[in-house]
């Protein structure tokens, strides 16, 4: 009887680890990418502040008047991104109402004031960025446009005393965007806008024709919503 008991105990001691080993189920380890994915489309709101200069050069006289520009910006943004590893490529457009305006003494007629306004500012830009999880550092550049106006006060005899046109040029800048959730991000960026040149015909803001060239520096903040 004691021999039977010893044999049963030895068998149980041997079988226990074998049975426990049978309970271990080998499963593949699941590896997941915990980084934020910047791919997709988005729309948002943007605002900020712009400053710069509207230069007017008399085509015959050569006189130069630099009118300062300062004011707020507010508008909307639409864009999309594609992410490859840590690199993000995108296309973004925006249209902003502009309150940028300024006044200075006209160089060719010191008793008169030369006034300038930028009524709106827009761009269509490519973006190249480097993503560090939910933080995206980016550079941007592309086409820029703006609505500009120039006036002379008080009225100069023989002139319409006003000129307006759509200016088209280019822009470049850089910024940072931070995802605060899967559906929303906030951003801050700087943009340099060279809006090209337009000719103000003779009899508008000068007796002869003038070349008008606005330059703008803009600092913008915004919020984007992904969809």
pLDDT digits (tens, 9 = 90+) for 53-105: 999 999 999 999 999 999 999 999 999 999 999 999 999 999 999 999 999 99
CATH number of 40-226: 2.40.160.20
Strands 113-132 and 210-226: unpaired
- Give the mean pLDDT of 137-144: 98
Please name which of 4, 96, 84 lies closest in space to residue 46, comparing C-alpha atoms.
Answer: 96
Tokens 């590893």 correspond to what residue? 85
pLDDT digits (tens, 9 = 90+) for 11-54: 444 444 544 444 454 554 433 354 899 999 999 999 999 999 99
Length of the chain: 227
Q: Which two tokens stand for residue 79?
A: 């864009």
120 near 88, Cβ under 8 Å?
no
Model confidence, pTM: 0.84
Confidence check: pLDDT of 157 > 70: yes
Q: Where are the alpha helices (DSSP H) in the chain?
A: 2-23
Whole-number pLDDT of residue 201: 98
Whole-number pLDDT of residue 32: 37
Domain layout of the chain by residue ranges: 40-226
């Amino acid at each position: 009887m004691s021999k039977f008991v010893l044999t049963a105990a030895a068998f149980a001691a041997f079988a226990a680890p074998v049975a426990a080993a049978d309970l271990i189920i080998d499963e593949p380890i699941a590896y997941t990418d915990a980084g934020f994915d910047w791919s997709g489309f988005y729309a948002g709101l943007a605002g900020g502040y712009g400053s710069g200069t509207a230069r007017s050069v008399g085509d015959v006289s050569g006189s130069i008047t630099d009118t300062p520009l300062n004011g707020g910006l507010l508008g909307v943004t639409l864009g999309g991104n594609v992410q490859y590893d840590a690199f993000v490529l995108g296309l973004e457009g925006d249209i902003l109402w502009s309150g940028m305006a300024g006044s200075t003494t006209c160089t060719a007629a010191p008793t008169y004031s030369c006034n300038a306004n930028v009524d709106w500012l827009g761009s269509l830009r490519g973006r190249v960025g480097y993503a560090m999880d939910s933080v995206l550092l980016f550079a941007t550049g592309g086409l820029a446009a703006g609505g500009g106006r120039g006036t002379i006060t008080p009225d100069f005899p023989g002139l319409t005393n006003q000129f307006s046109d759509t200016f088209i040029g280019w822009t470049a800048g850089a910024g940072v965007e931070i995802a605060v959730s899967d559906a929303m991000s906030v951003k801050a960026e700087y943009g340099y806008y060279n809006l090209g040149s337009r000719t103000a015909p003779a009899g508008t803001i000068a007796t002869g024709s003038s070349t008008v060239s606005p330059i703008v520096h803009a600092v913008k903040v915004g919020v984007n919503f992904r969809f």
